[in-house]
């Protein structure tokens, strides 16, 4: 089980997102849902007018607008502040410490995949950056 499976963590994360002015501003014109998938653990977030108005530990029967999915190790790179959100979600690779021969240079690999409505995911890029860093801070205990 990952950090995402903890119900108290989920509540703390949603409260911190709703209190974050950057997320509120960037998601102001979004009416949809985001599914976070950390290994086998899920967190569905219903976002409306810049606020998370509902959340649950499973996808809604109506699905999601887009989702971010990756193994627990990938998410730990974010929550441990070893990688930035863009390093994990945008194609390409910036760190080659595990590949000194650069054999993977130029390959379109991501650690955390974006699936679903990619147009909406792209439109909400800044809100998702804010969400990722609020998530990181909640895991590390430095968010409200």
Residue 77's domain is classified under what CATH number?
3.30.1050.10
144: in domain: no
Assigned domain for 118 exists: yes
Q: What does the pLDDT look like over 25-51, one tens digit per residue?
A: 999 999 999 999 999 999 999 999 999
The reply to whether 16 falls in a domain is yes
Q: How confident is the model at residue 83 (pLDDT cuts 50, 70, 90)?
A: confident
What is the domain range of residue 37?
A: 3-139
Average pLDDT score, the chain: 91
* Stretch 80-91: mean pLDDT: 87
Give me the sign of the Cα torsion angle 15, 67, 76, 26.
Answer: negative
For 47, 61, 121, the CA distances from 32, given in Å and listed in that order, are: 6, 13, 10
Query: How large a percentage of the chain has pLDDT more than 70?
Result: 95
Closest CA to 135 of 6, 1, 9: 9
For residue 77, is it within any domain?
yes
Domain count, the chain: 1
- Does any domain span residue 103? yes
Residue 56 lies in a domain: yes
Per-residue confidence (pLDDT) for residue 142, from 0 to 100: 64
């Amino acid at each position: 089980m990952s950090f995402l499976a903890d119900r108290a963590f989920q509540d703390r994360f949603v409260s911190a997102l709703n209190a974050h002015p950057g997320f509120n501003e960037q998601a102001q014109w979004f009416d949809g849902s985001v599914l976070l998938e950390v290994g086998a653990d899920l967190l569905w977030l219903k976002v409306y007018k810049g606020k998370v108005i509902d959340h649950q530990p499973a996808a809604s029967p109506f699905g999601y607008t887009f989702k971010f999915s990756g193994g627990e190790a990938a998410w730990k790179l974010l929550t441990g502040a070893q990688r930035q959100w863009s390093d994990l979600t945008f194609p390409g690779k910036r760190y080659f410490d595990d590949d000194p021969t650069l054999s993977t240079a130029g390959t379109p690999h991501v650690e955390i995949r974006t699936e679903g409505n990619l147009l909406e995911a792209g439109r909400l890029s800044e809100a998702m950056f804010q969400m990722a860093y609020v998530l990181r801070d909640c895991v590390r205990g430095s968010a409200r």
